[in-house]
């Protein structure tokens, strides 16, 4: 959700006519107006409430409150009911400018509003009134409450004032609002499906990973089944990189403070780094990034243009401090493994390298089942290192790479880092949600700080271009995206258990084990359910565990002249009795094609 505070919820600006509004603007006004009705109702229920802000967001609206008690689910039901009652009364929204002194007097008992008035002192302040409720507001509302569209109060969450942990923690009440009941219902159904696919829930149910506060928040424990999926991802990643001309490297987990001073991390990134540990009287830091270590490998020898491009890749584990309130399952953690690479190349090589990185990324992501992509190009900010002409070359290379990959993209003018422009590539999952994974980042800064050089064809020394890139982002985040994309039902090549043997009775267990060994010998992941449960219960449990194939063994299969099993897929399809040799060939082909 888009939650950044903007001027419309601050109280600065002016009201505009709502006549002939385009649908997008009218929807924004409905959502903004609903936030006002929400604040009205909460203030009536809890007169001691302190009001913060209430902006429209891309799925509805929210309002932040400092309240004398925590809101309950019953409170949310009451709030929604009373909002509907108020909306039905056709209250008119009236906006008007207000002098600063009068605004301070009106909101003397509302500290958050007073802070906003201080922030926008000198600007045109405004208030919006309806049903006797008045809020400091920029404006932009529907004409009356009956024009507010279908909505639902969703939940309440904690939110620090101004996003600062040192400031008061508020209660944020969220509401969903859409132009039609159908669109609202579709959104709610999508949320319900997203909840079913939540990687934290499935990670627990499928025994893939866990997080333990007592061991350290934001540190991931990969269980055997999750570890098996990760191994398949990493094995494919390594093979693809070796075939793509990359050299695989391994680097330490921490380094001396001088390294991070040279790289600039202690100047620009220290708040995200863990406190140092003292070793032999010197400070060592856990690495937040792999790039300085790859640079050390480059600098270890005198380099010639004949060696370039040099592509160094690593599945490197890094450690970054994230505030406790920002961590979320595997999506945001404190220790994670980046699929990192750095490309050292000549200026003449840079465009073809970028084109290849984008192509490589799209190909890899498609292998994992993603077919829809969006891209963003971030360009030179006002404060930047490097010559403008160099930035132009880099940005042109990024644009041509996106064009050659036939990827539509948006430009974030001035949104690049101070040390170089970048491409961010997002995938669209099965629910239509976007996930940012790939980043391709130019760096005009770090190579200079470390004095990187190569001997050119002219015999003189030159500075190489440095390109940072991560295709999957990190193993942890990518695994979370995969879990939610597939709802835990991984394709065969990634599934932790690819086939489960289900003996109908105890007398069939040994036969089932022989078949499992045969499949395992061929390289397939098969196990045997030896529990004394009924066959249907075993099949149901295998389906709940998202096992792709269930292989039932009974008297008929055990008596067959050749090894045979009755084959069921997890989607319920019954393939009948198949010779094990034929089934094995079928599964191996499915794994090979990574379908």
Mean pLDDT of 99-127: 90
Determine the pLDDT at residue 435: 94
Residue 503 vs residue 263, higher pLDDT: 503
Which one-letter DSSP state was computed for residue 309?
S
Mean pLDDT of 371-384: 89
Helices within 130-180 (DSSP H only): none
Rounded to the nearest angstrom, the gap between the alpha carbon of residue 184 and the centroid of all alpha carbons in its chain is: 24
Catalytic-role residue among 320, 380, 477, 500: 320
Whether residue 121 is predicted with pLDDT greater than 80 in this model: the reply is no
As a whole-number percent, the residues of the chain with pLDDT over 90 amount to: 75
Q: Is 320 one of the catalytic residues? A: yes
Whether residue 416 is predicted with pLDDT greater than 60 in this model: the reply is yes
Determine the pLDDT at residue 5: 38
304-344 tens-digit pLDDT:
999 999 999 999 999 999 887 788 999 999 999 999 999 99
pLDDT band at 567 (very low <50, low <70, confident <90, very high): very high
Catalytic-role residue among 64, 75, 135, 340: 340
Q: Is 338 one of the catalytic residues? A: yes
Catalytic-role residue among 32, 91, 334, 468: 468
Torsion over CA of 173, 178, 183 and 188, rounded to 10 degrees?
A: 0
CB 286 within 8 A of CB 251: no
Whether residue 6 is predicted with pLDDT greater than 50 in this model: the reply is no
pLDDT band at 13 (very low <50, low <70, confident <90, very high): very low
Mean pLDDT of 370-393: 88
Bridge-based pairing state of the strands 499-503 and 549-553: parallel
Q: Is 340 one of the catalytic residues? A: yes
State how far the Cα of 346 lies from the Cα of 341, in Å rounded to an integer: 17
Determine the pLDDT at residue 17: 52
Mean pLDDT of 561-574: 88
Determine the pLDDT at residue 361: 95
Helix (H) or strand (E) holding 500: strand 499-503
pLDDT band at 116 (very low <50, low <70, confident <90, very high): very high
Q: For 298-304, which contacts have Cβ atoms below 8 Å and span 24 or more sequence positions?
A: 298/344, 298/452, 298/464, 299/450, 299/451, 299/452, 302/455, 303/344, 303/453, 303/454, 303/455, 303/464, 304/454, 304/455
Catalytic-role residue among 40, 110, 171, 338: 338
Whether residue 10 is predicted with pLDDT greater than 70 in this model: the reply is no
Mean pLDDT of 115-143: 89
Whether residue 549 is predicted with pLDDT greater than 50 in this model: the reply is yes
Catalytic-role residue among 138, 342, 380, 546: 342
Determine the pLDDT at residue 390: 83
Catalytic-role residue among 91, 291, 303, 584: 291
Buried b (16+ CB within 10 A) or exposed e, 309-319: bbbbbbbbbbb
- Alpha-carbon dihedral sign for residues 356, 358, 364, 369: negative
Determine the pLDDT at residue 512: 93
Determine the pLDDT at residue 64: 97
As a whole-number percent, the residues of the chain with pLDDT over 70 amount to: 96
Residue 494 vs residue 558, higher pLDDT: 494
Mean pLDDT, the chain, as a whole number? 91
For residue 585, which of 526, 529, 523 has the smallest C-alpha distance? Answer: 523
Catalytic-role residue among 422, 508, 511, 568: 422
27-85 tens-digit pLDDT:
999 999 999 999 999 999 999 999 999 999 999 999 999 999 999 999 999 999 999 99
Determine the pLDDT at residue 4: 36
- The neighbour count for residue 70, using CB atoms within 10 Å, is 9
Helices within 245-349 (DSSP H only): 257-263, 265-268, 291-299
pTM: 0.86
Determine the pLDDT at residue 428: 93
Q: Is 291 one of the catalytic residues? A: yes
Determine the pLDDT at residue 385: 79
179-218 tens-digit pLDDT:
999 999 999 999 999 999 999 999 999 999 999 999 989 9
Whether residue 152 is predicted with pLDDT greater than 80 in this model: the reply is yes
Whether residue 230 is predicted with pLDDT greater than 60 in this model: the reply is yes
Q: Is 89 one of the catalytic residues? A: no
Whether residue 7 is predicted with pLDDT greater than 60 in this model: the reply is no
261-275 tens-digit pLDDT:
898 888 888 888 889
CA distances (Å), origin 238, targets 248, 331, 578: 8, 23, 35
Q: Is 468 one of the catalytic residues? A: yes
Q: Is 546 one of the catalytic residues? A: no
Tokens representing 44?
């009536």
Whether residue 463 is predicted with pLDDT greater than 60 in this model: the reply is yes
């Amino acid at each position: 959700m888009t939650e950044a505070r903007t001027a419309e919820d601050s109280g600065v600006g002016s009201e505009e006519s709502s006549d002939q509004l385009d649908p997008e603007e009218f929807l924004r006004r409905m959502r903004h107006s609903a936030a006002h009705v929400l604040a009205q109702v909460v203030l009536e229920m809890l007169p001691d409430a302190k009001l913060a802000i209430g902006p429209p967001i891309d799925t509805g609206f929210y309002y932040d409150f400092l309240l004398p008690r925590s809101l309950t689910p019953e409170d949310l039901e009451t709030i929604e009911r009373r909002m509907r009652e108020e909306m039905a009364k056709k209250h008119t929204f009236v906006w008007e400018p207000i002098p600063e002194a009068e605004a301070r007097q009106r909101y003397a008992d509302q500290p958050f509003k007073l802070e906003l008035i201080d922030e926008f002192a000198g600007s045109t302040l405004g208030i919006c009134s309806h049903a006797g409720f008045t809020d400091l507001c920029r404006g932009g509302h529907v004409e009356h409450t009956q024009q507010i569209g279908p909505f639902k109060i969703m939940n309440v969450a904690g939110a620090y004032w101004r996003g600062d942990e040192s400031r008061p923690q508020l209660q944020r009440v969220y509401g969903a609002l859409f132009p039609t009941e159908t669109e609202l219902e579709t959104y709610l159904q999508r949320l319900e499906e997203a909840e079913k696919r939540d990687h934290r829930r499935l990670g627990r149910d499928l025994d893939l990973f866990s997080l333990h506060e007592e061991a350290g928040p934001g540190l991931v424990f990969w269980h055997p089944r999750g570890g098996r999926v990760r191994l398949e991802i990493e094995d494919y990643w390594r093979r693809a990189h070796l075939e793509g001309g990359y050299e695989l490297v391994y680097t330490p987990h921490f380094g001396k403070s001088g390294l991070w001073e040279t790289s600039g991390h202690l100047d620009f990134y220290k708040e995200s780094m863990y406190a140092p540990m003292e070793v032999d009287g010197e400070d060592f830091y856990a690495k937040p990034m792999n790039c300085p270590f790859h640079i050390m490998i480059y600098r270890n020898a005198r380099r010639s243009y004949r060696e370039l491009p040099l592509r160094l890749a690593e599945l490197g584990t890094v450690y970054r401090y994230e505030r406790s309130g920002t961590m979320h399952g595997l999506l945001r953690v404190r220790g994670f493994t980046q699929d990192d690479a750095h490309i050292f190349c000549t200026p003449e090589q840079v465009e073809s390298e970028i084109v290849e990185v984008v192509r490589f990324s799209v190909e890899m992501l498609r292998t994992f089942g993603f077919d829809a992509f969006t891209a963003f190009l971030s360009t030179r900010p006002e404060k930047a290192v490097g010559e403008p002409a160099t930035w132009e070359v880099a940005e042109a290379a990024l644009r041509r790479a996106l064009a050659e990959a036939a990827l539509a993209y948006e430009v974030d003018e001035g949104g690049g880092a101070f040390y170089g422009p970048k491409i961010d590539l997002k995938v669209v999952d099965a629910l239509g949600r976007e996930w940012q994974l790939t980043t391709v980042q130019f760096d005009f800064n770090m190579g200079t700080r470390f004095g990187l050089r190569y001997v050119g064809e002219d015999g003189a020394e030159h500075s190489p271009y440095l390109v940072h890139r991560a295709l999957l982002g990190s193993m942890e985040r990518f695994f979370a995206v995969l879990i939610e994309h597939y709802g835990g039902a991984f394709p065969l090549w990634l599934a932790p258990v690819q086939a489960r043997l289900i003996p109908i009775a105890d007398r069939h267990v040994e036969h089932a084990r022989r078949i499992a060994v045969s499949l395992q010998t061929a390289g397939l992941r098969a196990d045997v359910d030896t529990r004394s449960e009924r066959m249907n219960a075993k099949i149901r449990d295998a389906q709940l565990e998202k096992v792709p194939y269930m292989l039932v063994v009974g008297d008929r299969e055990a008596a067959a002249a050749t090894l045979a099993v009755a084959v069921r897929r997890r989607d319920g399809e019954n393939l009948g009795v198949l010779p094990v040799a034929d089934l094995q060939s079928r599964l191996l082909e499915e794994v090979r094609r990574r379908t």
